[in-house]
């Protein structure tokens, strides 16, 4: 997700795109990227139309809107490096919330300590690797990033409650379409302000989000919320390694320790 974050920063900051306009345009891009997949992967079971499940979908949409606006606000006005300690809290929030939800939704969230404990250790190691004293300035943008991570985590964990009624593609399509429609009604954006280059950049971020979220939802259905979160934490390790060997950027001791801990946690959970 590093590429997606950098692209969002470029569009919001360098291209000077308004947050509300970007919110609407980015979800339009996601919907457009999903349209070709809908024909092949559409599934919507009748259970999705039950009142309680419609309420849960509404909560997912509301929390996603809040999370995105908070993250876009922080990205527009603060450096990515300063926001990383807040952004990497999301996996930890997901794991904690999944543990809490497991007491109320039997069978949907892991209760296996062999997965939960390594996941908690790995998420704490990831947070530790990004903490720098000079980064921990609790300005409005840093606080917004923390709450953005929390609402993203809450949205993801709630999604698992209704994900069985959809295919991952159809769920993400409906979620994103609803966010787009709500955003366009509330913000009334002027898409003419976006030049061709910016439109392609937004479309690229939309494509990245589609790939990422579909992988996440498939993971939730196949191997569980916490285990999927643990596996996805391997991402930063690959970034550290590539930066070290390809970009010749020296790996910090914090990143080195975090990489070992996360890799060890995944191996332990798999064995």
**Mind listing the pLDDT tens digit for each residue in 172-198?**
999 999 999 999 999 999 999 999 999
**267 within some domain:** no
134 has pLDDT over 60: no
Alpha helices in the chain (DSSP H): 2-9, 19-41, 51-77, 80-87, 89-101, 113-130, 140-159, 168-187, 196-222, 225-232, 234-245, 253-270
What domain range is 215 assigned to? 2-112+133-224
**261 within some domain:** no
How far apart CA 30 and CA 208 sit, in angstroms, is 9
According to the model, what pLDDT value does residue 246 have?
58
- Sign of the Cα torsion 164, 169, 172, 178 reads negative
**243 within some domain:** no
**36 phi and psi, to 5 degrees?**
-65, -25
**231 within some domain:** no
**Mind listing the pLDDT tens digit for each residue in 60-69?**
999 999 999 9
Half-sphere exposure of 238 (CA within 13 A, CB side): 7
How far apart CA 45 and CA 166 sit, in angstroms, is 6
**Mind listing the pLDDT tens digit for each residue in 72-122?**
999 898 887 778 788 889 999 999 999 999 999 988 999 999 999 999 999
Would you state the structure tokens that stand for residue 180, as one six-digit string?
């787009």
pTM value is 0.92
**232 within some domain:** no
Per-residue pLDDT, averaged over 198-223, amounts to 96
Closest Cα to residue 84, out of 53, 52, 120, 128? 128
Closest Cα to residue 65, out of 97, 31, 29, 19? 19
How far apart CA 120 and CA 226 sit, in angstroms, is 9
**156 within some domain:** yes
**230 within some domain:** no
239 has pLDDT over 70: no
166 forms bridges with which residues in the sheet?
Answer: 44
The region of weakest confidence among 19-33, 89-103, 124-138 is 124-138
According to the model, what pLDDT value does residue 249 have?
58
For the chain, the farthest-separated pair of C-alpha atoms sits apart, in whole angstroms, at 55
**Mind listing the pLDDT tens digit for each residue in 145-175?**
999 999 999 999 999 999 999 999 999 999 9
**59 within some domain:** yes
Number of compact structural domains in the chain: 1
């Amino acid at each position: 997700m590093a590429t997606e974050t950098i692209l969002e920063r470029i569009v919001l900051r360098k291209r000077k795109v308004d947050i509300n306009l970007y919110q609407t345009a980015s979800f339009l891009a996601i919907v457009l990227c999903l349209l070709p997949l809908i024909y092949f992967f559409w599934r919507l079971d009748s259970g999705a139309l039950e009142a309680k499940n419609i309420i849960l979908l509404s909560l997912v949409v509301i929390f996603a809107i809040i999370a995105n606006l908070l993250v876009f606000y922080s990205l527009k006005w603060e450096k990515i490096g300063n926001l990383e300690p807040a952004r990497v809290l999301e996996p930890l929030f997901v794991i904690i919330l999944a543990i809490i939800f497991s007491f109320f939704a039997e069978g949907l969230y892991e209760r296996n300590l062999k997965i939960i404990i390594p996941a908690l250790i790995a998420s704490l190691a990831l947070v530790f690797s990004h903490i720098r004293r000079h980064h921990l300035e609790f300005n409005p943008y840093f606080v917004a990033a923390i709450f953005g991570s929390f609402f993203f985590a809450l949205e993801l964990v709630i999604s698992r409650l209704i994900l069985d009624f959809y295919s991952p593609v159809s769920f993400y399509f409906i979620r994103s379409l609803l966010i787009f429609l709500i955003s366009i009604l509330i913000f009334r954006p002027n898409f003419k302000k976006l030049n061709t280059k910016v439109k392609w950049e937004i479309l690229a971020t939309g494509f990245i989000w589609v790939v990422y979220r579909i992988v996440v939802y498939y993971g939730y259905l196949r191997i569980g919320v916490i285990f999927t979160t643990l596996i996805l934490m391997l991402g930063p390790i690959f970034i550290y390694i590539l930066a070290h060997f390809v970009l010749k950027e020296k790996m910090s001791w914090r990143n080195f320790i975090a990489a070992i801990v996360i890799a060890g946690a995944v191996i332990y959970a798999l064995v």
